Structures are given as structure tokens and as C-alpha cells.
Amino acid sequence: MVNFDTKYDIPRDLEGFGEDPIDPQWPNGTRIAVSFVLNYEEGAERTYHNGDGHSEPYLWEKGASGGHKEGAPYVNQESEYEYGSRVGGWRLLRLFKEFGWQWTTYAVAQAMQVNPKFAKACVRDGHEIATHGLRWLDIWDYDLQQEKDYIIQSLKVLKDVTGEWPVGAYYGRGTPNTKALFPEAFKEAGTEMLWNSEAYNDDVPYWVDLPAEKDLPDDQKKGMLIVPYNYDCNDGKFHMSPGNGGTAAWEAYLKSTFDMLYREGGRMMNIPLHSRIAGKPGRSEALRNFMKYIQQHEGVWVATRRDIAKHFKEKYPYKPGHRA
């Protein structure tokens, strides 16, 4: 049973910025901010050896047709995940080094812990580390204290293995409390959250008021900066229904998304990736084609979410009751 606390209930906002979207005023007059995100989960997913009773059935090459095996390791599935940590992640590191660009790592703490060489390489190459959970599990049934402890532990493990505190968060498998619980958990861990991506409802960052701060004087409120995420450009759609129709279709969709947002100007584009998915050769080549395509355009800012958040916060400091 889910443990929902109204203290962490952020009201829905169906209006947003409306007919006249805000201009984030990206650095140097650029037209678009492009955020590549690597979801790094391999080694933290459900496995028989971690006491989960079965192997992770989600987001691997056989998809739903792979079936669900109980009571023993499902070596086919587990081997697929190993491809991401053994090969795919390193291929993506080489690809981004070729372009000199950085991604934001949605890092599951245990995945980084069991592959510390990759964790250190991400930081070495300038890629941002954000928390994606302690393990890649659904925590829907956690109570508030369990969830807060889970967040805090993920932050401490990531700091230990990568050498830096995460300033951003995205779980995707949390509870209704997760989104607004993050700032509190970060603070108790001894650090501060800069951005939160538990939202899919816009093409630009925006501020939200925190329900837990409603009784504070305005000058003591900090609010929470949302840097929206998406599913539609996600390479996970190779294994989800409805799928994206293969590498050519994915590449074309990424280009179409970029073209629209670039023409509009003042927008942000998300490209969500996974080591075991986009790290496969054919998909990496499609991704490279897309990267070459946007490289040919002037006024493109490829940035980490940390840098996007810092810029937006400088241009539009938090003001209670305002999106920006």
C-alpha cells in the first residue's frame, strides 16, 4: 500500500507558461540547450543473487517476449545487462569524447559501486553524476522514513564511489512523495539539491513551491527547480510498447524533435540513453549521426543538467508563487 503524505503533494499545473513561453536566455545567445542523459543501472537491477528471487524482466533486448523466470538466475537477461557495463558504457564514453560533450549520468548508486572504473571515468571526462536511486527498484511501498534513508544512502554511496556529491535527482520509480522529499533528504545527507527531473510536462526549466515551506516567510523559502525530462526520445522505447520502429526511426525522430525546438528557440531537448541499449553498435551509430547533425547547426548548447540549472537559477532566481 502506498504511503502518501500531503506534506509532499505538489499541485498539478495545467497552465504552465501558456501562450508566451519564457525565454531561458541560454548562454551566448544560443537557441537550444541539449541535454544527453545516460541512465546507468547495470548491476543494480533485480537479480537472483541480490535476493530478489528473480532477474530483472524490464528493458532488455527480448522485451516482454523474454518472459519472467522465478527461483534462479535468468542468465540470458543478466548477460544483456552486463553488456551495458562491460561494453556499451565505454562505447558511449568514447563517442562523447569524440565530440567533446558531456552528459548527465542518472547513476544508480549500486551500479556505480560495482563498476568503480566506469564511475571514475565519467567524472574524469566531465560527465555529471545525479542520483537515480540506491538500486534500480520500484520503491512504491516505502514509508517516508524508509524512502528518505534510501535517498540519503544513494547520495552517500555516489559521493564515495565518484568523489562528488550529486546535485540533481531523477528516480522514475519513486512514490508520490519522492519529488518533494528530495530537498529534505539532500539536506539531511549534508548537501543541497540544485535540480529535480521528476517531471515530463515542459520544454523549459521552471520553479515550484514546496508544500513543506508554505508556512515559512517568503525570504526563507527556497522552492525547487524542475528541469523536465521526457520519454518520447528515450532509447528505452526500443524495448517498450509502443516502440520507436528501429534505429532509422529513432534517429529521424530525434532530428525532428531537434528541428522543431531549434526553430522555436529558447527550448531544451532531452535525449535519454542507457548503456545496454544505446551502447549497442547500431544504435550508437544512429546516435552519432544525430550528434553530427546538431553539430552542424549554430547556436546549440550541449550541457549537463547541472549547468542548465545553474544558468536558469542565475537568470530567474526563485520567487515564491512564480514559475520563473
Number of domains in the chain: 1
Tell me the mean pLDDT in the region 258-275: 98
Question: Does residue 6 form part of some domain?
Answer: no
Question: Does residue 8 form part of some domain?
Answer: no
Distances (CA, A) of 245 to 65, 99, 236: 17, 27, 12
Question: How does pLDDT run across 4-43, given as a tens digit for each residue?
Answer: 999 999 999 999 999 988 999 999 999 999 999 999 999 9
Strand partners, 128: 104
- Cα–Cα distance, 107 to 121 (Å, whole number): 13
Question: What confidence category does residue 205 fall into, taking pLDDT thresholds of 50, 70 and 90?
Answer: very high
Residue 289 CB partners (closer than 8 Å, separation 6+): 251
Question: Does residue 65 form part of some domain?
Answer: yes
Q: What does the pLDDT read at residue 321?
A: 96
Residue 198 CB partners (closer than 8 Å, separation 6+): 169, 170, 171, 172, 174, 178, 179, 182, 226, 229
Question: Does residue 243 form part of some domain?
Answer: yes
List the single range of 80-84, 88-92, 320-324 with lowest mean pLDDT: 80-84
Q: How high does pLDDT run on average in the chain? A: 94
Tell me the mean pLDDT in the region 145-155: 97
Instruction: Output the nine-digit C-alpha cell for 266.
Output: 529558447
Is residue 118 scored above 70 in pLDDT? yes
Question: Does residue 229 form part of some domain?
Answer: yes
Is residue 65 scored above 70 in pLDDT? no
Domain of residue 96: give its range.
Answer: 23-315
List the single range of 55-69, 118-132, 174-188, 225-239 with lowest mean pLDDT: 55-69
Question: What confidence category does residue 131 fall into, taking pLDDT thresholds of 50, 70 and 90?
Answer: very high
Question: How does pLDDT run across 279-297, given as a tens digit for each residue?
Answer: 999 999 999 999 999 999 9
Is residue 314 scored above 90 in pLDDT? yes
Q: What are the DSSP calls for 59-95, one per residue?
A: SSTTGGGG---BSS--HHHHHHHHHIIIIIHHHHHHH
Is residue 198 scored above 70 in pLDDT? yes
Q: What does the pLDDT read at residue 59?
A: 77
Q: What does the pLDDT read at residue 215?
A: 94
Q: Write the single-letter amino acid at 287.
A: L
Question: Does residue 17 form part of some domain?
Answer: no
Question: Does residue 74 form part of some domain?
Answer: yes
CATH number at residue 235: 3.20.20.370
Is residue 133 scored above 70 in pLDDT? yes
Question: Does residue 45 form part of some domain?
Answer: yes
Question: What confidence category does residue 313 fall into, taking pLDDT thresholds of 50, 70 and 90?
Answer: very high
Q: What does the pLDDT read at residue 64?
A: 66
Q: Write the single-letter amino acid at 132.
A: H
Question: What confidence category does residue 240 fall into, taking pLDDT thresholds of 50, 70 and 90?
Answer: confident
Question: What confidence category does residue 57 fall into, taking pLDDT thresholds of 50, 70 and 90?
Answer: confident
Which one is predicted more confidently, 45 or 224? 224
Which one is predicted more confidently, 6 or 260? 260
pTM of the model: 0.96
Is residue 242 scored above 80 in pLDDT? no
Q: What does the pLDDT read at residue 45?
A: 85
Instruction: Output the nine-digit C-alpha cell for 38.
Output: 545516460
- Cα–Cα distance, 294 to 309 (Å, whole number): 22
